[in-house]
Amino acid sequence: MTERSAVMRIELNGESREIDGEPLLARVLTEAGLPERGIAVAVDGEVVPRATWPQHRLADGARVEVLTAVQGG
């Protein structure tokens, strides 16, 4: 019998999402269709450095905020 991974919920920019499988930040961002450049990410109010995204594990109920750079003046 294979063990099924638990489904967990996070909030991504104010919208509830279910995560099935590895709850890694980089995976969540890719699956959400977000670009690899020009964004900053905070999890539960703390900025997460880009270099740690592939290893950063999200907890059930995590609040992920993605901010995009905007040019102008």
∠ CA 2-54-56 to the nearest 5 degrees? Answer: 85
Query: Residue 73 domain-assigned?
Result: no
pLDDT band at 58 (very low <50, low <70, confident <90, very high): very high
Query: Residue 2 domain-assigned?
Result: no
Query: Residue 38 domain-assigned?
Result: yes
Query: Residue 63 domain-assigned?
Result: yes
Task: Give the count of domains, the chain.
Answer: 1
What is the residue range of 60's domain? 7-68
Query: Residue 27 domain-assigned?
Result: yes
CATH of the domain at 46: 3.10.20.30
Please return the burial class of 19, using the count of CB atoms within 10 Å of its CB with bins 0-12, 13-18 and 19+.
buried
Cβ contact 31:46 at 8 Å: no
**pTM of the complete model:** 0.85
Instruction: Give me the helices (H) in the chain, please.
Output: 25-31
∠ CA 59-63-69 to the nearest 5 degrees? Answer: 125
Query: Residue 1 domain-assigned?
Result: no
- pLDDT 10s digits, 4-57: 567 999 999 999 999 998 999 999 999 999 988 899 999 999 999 999 999 999
